[in-house]
Each structure stands twice: as structure tokens, then as C-alpha cells.
Amino acid sequence: MGWIVWIVFGLIAGIIAKIIMPGAQRGGFIVTTILGILGAMIGGWIGTQLGWGSVDGFNLPSLALAVVGAIVLLFVFGFVMNKK
């Protein structure tokens, strides 16, 4: 996928992850986008390792893996930010 598609895909995954896991995590639009993009990468890696598939296109399974990865990152980000 191209860079712009990854950014849009990451933004969508980040927004969905924030809706699923609301809370006091700090971060605005840019942090949500970054967490979504990194979540897509992590979700794709985890999905590939477990044999579930990978983030290889703009489709529902890829979005699900990206959202799971973004939720994991939001959890870690919230944990780290609440420690401070």
C-alpha cells in the first residue's frame, strides 16, 4: 500500500480503537494517527505470526487486525502515560 493509504488506514484504525477503548489516554489527532499506523503494523505482524492473515490491503480482515494492534498500543500508551 502507498503511504497515503497507510495514513488513512491508520487514522481509521486509531479512531475505531479509541471508540472501543475510551479513557483518559492523552493524545490528539496526530497521536491517534501514529498509534493507528503502528497498530496496523503490529496487528499485521501478530496476525501473520498466528496464521490469521496480514494487513495486505484495504479490507475488513486487515482493518480488524489493525484495530486490535491499535488497541494494544492504546493500552500500553495509556499505562505509560498514567505512570507519569
Model's pTM, two decimal places?
Answer: 0.74
pLDDT-based confidence at residue 64 (cuts at 50, 70, 90)? confident
| Nearest-angstrom CA–CA distance, 65 and 50 | 11
Q: Which residues 6+ apart lie within 8 Å of 9 measured at CB?
A: 1, 36, 37, 40, 55, 58, 62, 63, 66
**Percentage above 90 pLDDT, the chain:** 0
Q: What pLDDT score does 11 carry? A: 81
Q: Which helix (H) or strand (E) holds 62?
A: helix 60-83
- Are the C-beta atoms of 27 and 83 separated by less than 8 Å? no
Q: What is the mean pLDDT of the chain?
A: 75
